[in-house]
Structure 1
């Protein structure tokens, strides 16, 4: 079983759909089900035994830096972005901090409940660097809370992925958690780009794989979605 030592937690977005909540604080610090979204992600990383997390920041990045200042598990390395680099560009800039081995990447606008085995552990067990260059956690689109799109991928019995074609519906949505090889980003020009660029290359070489999440999954995209998640998890905020 692969042991991951580093995780990238993506926390640089503007959170425009989360206004007005993001006028005062960055989206990763908005509390959902009792703690900031960013802490949900970092707690998962720590529970998986991953020792170092690189957190990219842009919008109100100093607030994120202050919030994480006292955190020791995982060890936090910040990757501030003067210009917004999107998912792929943010990872590319952080490569010197991520090391040379495959790493975990987690979006900070999601929340998940594990099935019988934690999702990150399942990903690391399924990871096979001989056949895969990226392994994505996927969730059934029909059961994805806060998601109203047409799905992202089809998956064959071996886990190989193909993209949804225009005008059709695909059964799986990317769940915001993936294992990636750092060399995927080596020859990409600097600047902003989406990890979709990387995925498209891997689809051509048939080295993009997926794994179905077996617990609950939530996309936290709008202020209304926070209450829906809290209700679903039966979380009751304490008003003191």
Structure 2
């Protein structure tokens, strides 16, 4: 069975309201909040540039003109504006015509990751098995996630298939906000606003949702109060 794929397109999700980051996000969209000297959006785009991605889509909604102005110098970026917020699934579905017919990356712009020995995007691309997968998620151990306050999302089996936390009190792995999706995942998807979780559940039922466990650092900046701690840890890791 053929393993691995060459990814040429990607989307960065940057349309959210960033409510928990207020008052900062009243005037600055959360993706443009600087953490340790670089905006979270630029961090995501730089990862994708290093992976050789030349066709990039960034969706916008809240303070869209600010994001547009920030990206004015990046010719490889096409904006997908959402007059009404479409959530993760609806946002990607709207941008599908810009994302080609093959597997593509989707990256959240409100998280930060640092790579282990092999870049996370390369690890995902190498792990992709087109005959078996509709979605491949980067996961991170809850125990070493910085700034994360949840109970975890998934467990993973020996074949890298995922299982939801369900009714269990905790799960060992969280969804790290980085993934490869195939356009076929969106066949028959809802119209308008919906979460990617709906499509993950559909893929789970078909045994076509897989994961790769991240081996680098992972940071969530949820509130203004969390910024100093994350910045200090990130600067330490990056230097």
TM-score (norm 1): 0.95
How far apart are residue 158 of structure 1 and its match?
1.2
Aligned partner of residue 234 in structure 1, secondary structure: helix
* Equivalent residue in structure 2 for 1:19, among 10, 16, 22: 22
How far apart are residue 190 of structure 1 and its match?
1.4
Q: Aligned partners of 1:177, 1:39: CA distance in 2, in Å?
A: 15
Preserved CA contact (<8 Å) 2:14 2:108: yes
- Alpha-carbon deviations, 1:191-222, whole Å to 9, x = none? 11110000000110111000000011011211
1:117 aligned partner: 118
Preserved CA contact (<8 Å) 2:61 2:83: yes
C-alpha RMSD of matched pairs (Å): 1.0
- Alpha-carbon deviations, 1:89-127, whole Å to 9, x = none? 000000011111110000001111110000000000001
> How many residues in Structure 1 have an aligned counterpart in Structure 2?
233
Structure 1 residue 42 and structure 2 residue 45: aligned?
yes
Q: Aligned partners of 1:167, 1:220: CA distance in 2, in Å?
A: 26
5+ long unaligned stretches in structure 2: none
Aligned partner of residue 189 in structure 1, secondary structure: coil
Further displaced range: 140-149 or 6-15? 140-149
1:95 aligned partner: 96
Preserved CA contact (<8 Å) 2:152 2:170: yes
Matches within 5 A, 1:1-240: 1-72=4-75, 75-234=76-235
Preserved CA contact (<8 Å) 1:92 1:186: no
5+ long unaligned stretches in structure 1: 236-240
Preserved CA contact (<8 Å) 2:185 2:203: no
Name segments (4+ residues, structure 1) moved above 4 Å: none
